[in-house]
Amino acid sequence: MGGAIIVVICIIGSIIWGIRTGKKRRDEMGELVATLGLQFSSERNYQVTKHYAFLDKLRQGSNRYAYNMISGTYQGHSVAAFDYHYETHSTDSKGHRQTNHHHFSFFILTTEKYCPELMIAKESFFSKITPPLGYDDIDIESHEFSKKFIVRSRDKKFAHDFCNARMIDHLLGHPDIHIEVDQNLLVLGLGFKLEAEQIETRLKQLIEIRNLMPSNFSQGERK
């Protein structure tokens, strides 16, 4: 009996701690975003999967929503960022159904021109995507890069142009990210939630990646 009470107390304590931590993070994000001249909303947004339908990670699981959404103009670029949640379910050895919560952060920049679809990520990321992107991996000349990342695109020339020497150097130094490009959106994805103080750094990285893209990338047409 006493053990059960201790478990209940631990669960309640964990919930309270989670609520306080979440509120502290939201407050810090709101303050930071205000200093950057951007807009912030902590409300859950269940429509974001429709707006960014091309993002494979946004089509997984159930109870899918974005929160802590940031939007506006940063250093002359139209940007958006948000945390994302979805659920999957599993069964333990005793047959009990468990709910697994997954959280990610996304940073999105609107480019002035349109691009073919492209995805660059570590192999572990691709292995978790359902359904698959639908076309073969593209071999990039850098052996080190090809060992760490998989590249997929409908347009092989665009993929090779995108993975230029400077881009390869940047991505090798930041193996924790994945990139998606579709139409006029450049997306930087992370497999975890960021602390508030890291947001500006990632926004700057998003712009740096945009600047590393080939200057003649504008061959795609709007769909």
The pLDDT value given to residue 113: 84
Instruction: Please answer whether residues 133 and 118 qualify as being in contact, where contact means their C-beta atoms are separated by less than 8 angstroms.
Output: no
DSSP code string of the chain: -HHHHHHHHHHHHHHHHHHHHHHHHHHHHHHHHHHTT-EEE-S-BSSHHHHTTT-GGGGSSEEEEEEEEEEEEETTEEEEEEEEEEEEEEE-TTS-EEEEEEEEEEEEEEEEEEEEEEEEE-HHHHTT-SS--SS-B---S-HHHHHH-EEEES-HHHHHHHS-HHHHHHHHT-TTEEEEEEEEEEEEEESSPPPGGGHHHHHHHHHHHHHHS-TT-TTB---
Instruction: Please answer whether residues 199 and 89 qualify as being in contact, where contact means their C-beta atoms are separated by less than 8 angstroms.
Output: no
Nearest 5°: the CA angle 142, 147, 148 is 105
Each residue of 77-88: pLDDT tens digit?
999 999 998 888
The pLDDT value given to residue 126: 47
Within 10 angstroms of residue 142's Cβ, the number of other Cβ atoms is 16
Enter the pTM of the model: 0.78
Instruction: Please answer whether residues 57 and 84 qualify as being in contact, where contact means their C-beta atoms are separated by less than 8 angstroms.
Output: yes
pLDDT confidence tier of residue 165, bands split at 50, 70 and 90: very high
Each residue of 3-16: pLDDT tens digit?
555 544 444 444 43
User: Residue 193: pLDDT above 80?
Assistant: no
The pLDDT value given to residue 195: 79
Residue ranges per structural domain of the chain: 2-212
pLDDT confidence tier of residue 219, bands split at 50, 70 and 90: very low
The average pLDDT across 156-160 equals 91
Percent over 70 (pLDDT), the chain:
78
Greater pLDDT, 85 or 2:
85
The average pLDDT across 144-159 equals 89
**Per-chain mean pLDDT for the chain:** 80
Best-predicted range by mean pLDDT among 11-25, 90-104, 177-191?
177-191
The average pLDDT across 8-31 equals 55
